[in-house]
Structure 1
């Protein structure tokens, strides 16, 4: 199975409060510079944990669907109750599924309604903890601030091994991806 996912409708807000991030970094210089670091750190957390921190529209295209499965694990979570994905199979709307919500969402096909050997499945859904920094779980917010601090500390030239990820970010990312450390 080949699956592609892209993010659209990215939030313009920050995943953590700017004053908290500045205090954590212990630096009160340019707001724009700290915002840039928080955005970069948020992207780091999202990529490592395969999550959307703030609400985003996720578009998934699945090709090579010859393997019959009872459903699909959606690549980016979390997905909350009330979120109804848009699903098309070979260009036709397909409402015959059940969405299992949570950090690792799953789209379960209802019996007898999955076409034989579809060529393409397209899914559009909203993932994220919410629309504002207040909606972001504390462990994720702390991981973002720790990663932003690492970006701040590494803003001068240094070797690539020194600027990787904070240990807290790695633990939080593993937790949300469902990886046991």
Structure 2
């Protein structure tokens, strides 16, 4: 399987000014914004780490996801959450020929932890022999930083601050995720049961 981020988080959606305030950096100078590129990079890095740890997309983006077999005949767990919409499903044969799947034959079962593609009928579309299927969807809590749950937003700030304060080098033996950040994000982590992982 391969998950590809089709769009990125625009700078306008990132809380760079708020993060500068969180760090209590000086203000009122002509060059207040000189560190904004650096601060943006730490916010993006913290977001990526938290999204990887939780399986949650913080700010809405578009994705494509390719796989060669369904996990279950009538149901496929999606790799991230929350998923706002399935925009297209495309079957690809081994020669690259594409067939768009009728949207009436499937639906999205929304879930904050494990959203699913489900069949309308007995089974999902048959994937061609030696071919694949590509799903396109949008996922995320919302288009702006204000749409995030407050604890996830705080976790991003804490982790970004950790990166900023330890930017010269990681301390030997230091845990990659600070304890306070782990406490904030633990309830968002997906627990996979009975081997039902997204294929």
After TM superposition, the score normalised by the length of structure 1 is: 0.83
Contact 1:55-1:126 within 8 A present in 2 as well: yes
Q: Residue 69 of structure 1 corresponds to which residue in structure 2?
A: 73
SS in 1 for 2:177: coil
Distance 1:72 1:41, change over 3 A: same
- Residues 73 and 123, structure 2, Cα contact 8 Å, conserved in 1: no
Give the match for residue 139 of structure 1.
151
C-alpha change, 1:159 and 1:89, in structure 2 (3 Å) is: same
Residues 15 and 42 in structure 1, CA contact (< 8 A), matched pair in contact too: no
Aligned residues of 1:58 and 1:76 also touching (Cα < 8 A): no
Aligned length, in residue pairs: 175
**Distance across 1 between alignment mates of 2:143 and 2:126:** 38
Superposition CA RMSD, Å: 2.4
Matched, 1:79 2:88: no
Determine the C-alpha separation between the residues in 2 that align with 1:49 and 1:154.
23
Cα distance in structure 1, aligned partners of 2:184 and 2:99: 38
Which of 8, 11, 17 pairs up with 1:10?
8
- Given candidates 89, 92, 95, the residue that maps to 2:99 is 92
Pick closer, same or farther for the CA change 1:77–1:15 going to 2, 3 Å.
farther
Kindly indicate whether the alpha-carbon contact (under 8 Å) linking 1:6 and 1:60 is maintained by their aligned counterparts in 2: yes
d(CA) in 2 for partners of 1:16, 1:167 = 24
Unaligned runs of 5+ in 2: 27-31, 93-97, 193-199
Cα deviations by residue, 1:92-128 (Å, 9 ceiling, x for unpaired): 2222112012332110112245344543111000011
Structure 1 CA distance for aligned equivalents of residues 126 and 136 of structure 2: 22
Alignment CA distance shift 1:115-1:99 (3 Å): closer
Asked if the contact 1:4/1:61 (under 8 Å) is kept, the reply is yes
Query: Which residue of 36, 41, 47 corresponds with 2:41?
Result: 36
* Deviates most, 41-50 or 27-36: 27-36
Q: Tell me the alpha carbon deviations over residues 154-176 of structure 1, each in whole angstroms, 9 at most, x when there is no partner.
A: 11223353261122432444322
In structure 1, distance between residues paired with 2:43 and 2:20: 10
Unpaired runs of at least 5, structure 1: none
User: Aligned partners of 2:62, 2:70: CA distance in 1, in Å?
Assistant: 27
Kept in 2, the 8 Å contact 1:150–1:163? The answer is: no
CA shift in 2, pair 1:117/1:44, >3 Å? closer
Tell whether the 8 Å contact from 2:74 to 2:122 is kept in structure 1 after alignment: no
